[in-house]
Amino acid sequence: MSERASPRLQRRLEQVLIAGCEEARVPGAVALIAGAQGVAAAAAGVLDSESGLTVRPESLFEIGSITKPMTASLVVRAASQGRLSLDDAARMFIPEWRPHDELADVTVRQLLAHTSGLPGDVFLDTGEGPDALARYAEACGGLAPIHPPGASVSYCNSGYALLGRLLEVIHQTSFHTCLTDTLGRVVGASTLEISKGERRADRAVGHAMTAEGVRPIRDVQFPLALAPAGSRTVGSVFDLLAFATLHLEDGRTDQGLHWLSPEWVAAMRVLHARAPEGDWQYVGRGLGWELFPSRDSVVFGHDGRTAGQTAFLRILPENGTVFALLTNGGIAQTLFRRVAEEFNLELAGLELAVPAASRPASGRAELCAGVFVTPAQRHTVVAGSAGELLVHTAPAGEAALGQARSILLKPFSDRVFAQFDEGGSPSPVIFTDDDPFGRPQAMHIGQRRAVRWQDPAG
């Protein structure tokens, strides 16, 4: 997929991206649309608001969790070669991981589909050395499950770190080599790499929105051990196009190499875990891929978020279209919607409207109130007088994540509430697993499952 799009389409994409960045206060971005009309890539803004360096179409951004379907592709290829079965217990291939008894039978497939029950946001720093993933796997041995394996779905960064260690053991090399040699040398994602934190002029810097305006984020780096989940991956929209093309072309590379069979490619986008009922943002999860709402066809892809950077990838196999967007701050979701809607990109999952809010049954907010926890965060949910909820989130535990914040949730139904970003886009927060008294025992926020805390003192 290398033919350039028409000059008219190219100019239109540039104009929409520039206007969208200004509207969404995004310092810099690159957008790519590829398909039957050819390939159009446009850049806008700056890589760093202090240096003023201009974004170019080939500029490198942090792609975050778009790394996950890449890691999944490497694992699935190992399965296709007979090196493992997706239904094997994952611990068979990770000697350092001695899981909690209830997690002993977690399969490779469950790690890929975020259904393992393993706590997901365990951001332990195990150093910068070649044993970072091995040490992380050992540290995960004491984690208790947040749900029985296969019983629910909860976004799981730690599971992908374990899959990265699995690849190291199978291939007897570093995850960095597995990723960059295969996807770079073989597949054609030639500028894809795992950052060591060095500053480079061709790389975007993340930005935060402050009272004084948009400001660069310096010296914030996630642990190397989470690299298979996306903590350190940088790349361009052309790297994402090369990877997406592999999955559009039934596992064939640009050179005609059958890197993965059509059957395995198709298996990766089969629904393995359905999203909680009421979630309008995604249908569920395949193996590495997120599956998005669409009228008549499969739409798959992934998003990625790091410190001040957000990335989007959408793929529509029905007509061979790829849409990629890389941003370095601002209200990225607003820019994503602006570009996608302007080009009528159903593949962006936007054709499914957010459902209209309905007034929940009286007293429902009070039943949802309480404390819900993960190993990294504690959510205190307080009921308001008009059926709304106020959620106070604070870091908690050894793997504490993020900063304390409070968000207002507006009711959409008995089980579904919504939080709104700066651009007014809603995200669902869903309460599930009612006890006999109608009190939900789980809250799904940010696609993570948090469980109701039971006070040991009663």
pLDDT of residue 350: 45
pLDDT of residue 211: 81
Strand spans (E) along 111-216:
193-194, 207-210, 213-216
Tell me the pLDDT tens digit for each residue of 204-220. 999 998 888 889 998 88
Domains of the chain: 1-353 (3.40.710.10), 364-452 (2.40.128)
Sheet holding 233-235, edge to edge: 61-62, 233-235, 193-194
Q: How far apart (Å, rounded) are the C-alpha atoms in residues 187 and 220? A: 30
pLDDT of residue 5: 82
Does the structure show a pLDDT above 90 at 348? no
Instruction: For residues 402-412, give the mean pLDDT.
Output: 88
Task: Identify which has the larger pLDDT, 65 or 424.
Answer: 65
Counting residues of the chain whose pLDDT is more than 90, the rounded percentage is 72
pLDDT of residue 280: 87
Q: Are 404 and 394 in contact (CB under 8 A)?
A: yes
DSSP string, 149-163: TTS-----HHHHHHH
Residue 71, CA atoms < 13 Å, CB-side half-sphere: 35
Does the structure show a pLDDT above 70 at 398? no
Instruction: For residues 144-151, give the mean pLDDT.
Output: 94
pLDDT of residue 440: 96
pTM of the model: 0.94
Q: How far apart (Å, rounded) are the C-alpha atoms in residues 84 and 387? A: 50
Whether 152 sits among the annotated catalytic residues: the reply is no
Residue pointed to by tokens 């995200």: 427
Does the structure show a pLDDT above 50 at 147? yes
Please state which of the ranges 25-34, 63-72, 237-246, 380-389 shows the lowest mean pLDDT.
380-389
* Token representation of residue 24: 């969404």
β-pairing verdict for 405-411 and 389-395: antiparallel
Phi, psi of 193 (to 5 degrees): -160, 165
Phi, psi of 392 (to 5 degrees): -100, 115
Please state which of the ranges 111-115, 224-228, 357-361, 447-451 shows the lowest mean pLDDT.
357-361
Instruction: For residues 292-320, give the mean pLDDT.
Output: 89
Does the structure show a pLDDT above 70 at 457? no
pLDDT of residue 185: 86
Please state which of the ranges 11-25, 40-54, 275-289, 386-400 shows the lowest mean pLDDT.
386-400
pLDDT of residue 455: 63
- Binned at pLDDT 50, 70 and 90, residue 318 comes out as confident
Please identify which of the residues 65, 80, 116, 154 carries the catalytic annotation: 65
3-state SS class at 311: strand
- Binned at pLDDT 50, 70 and 90, residue 344 comes out as confident
Instruction: For residues 16-40, give the mean pLDDT.
Output: 95
- Binned at pLDDT 50, 70 and 90, residue 20 comes out as very high
Mean pLDDT taken over the chain: 91
pLDDT of residue 390: 96
Tell me the pLDDT tens digit for each residue of 174-195. 999 999 998 888 899 999 999 9
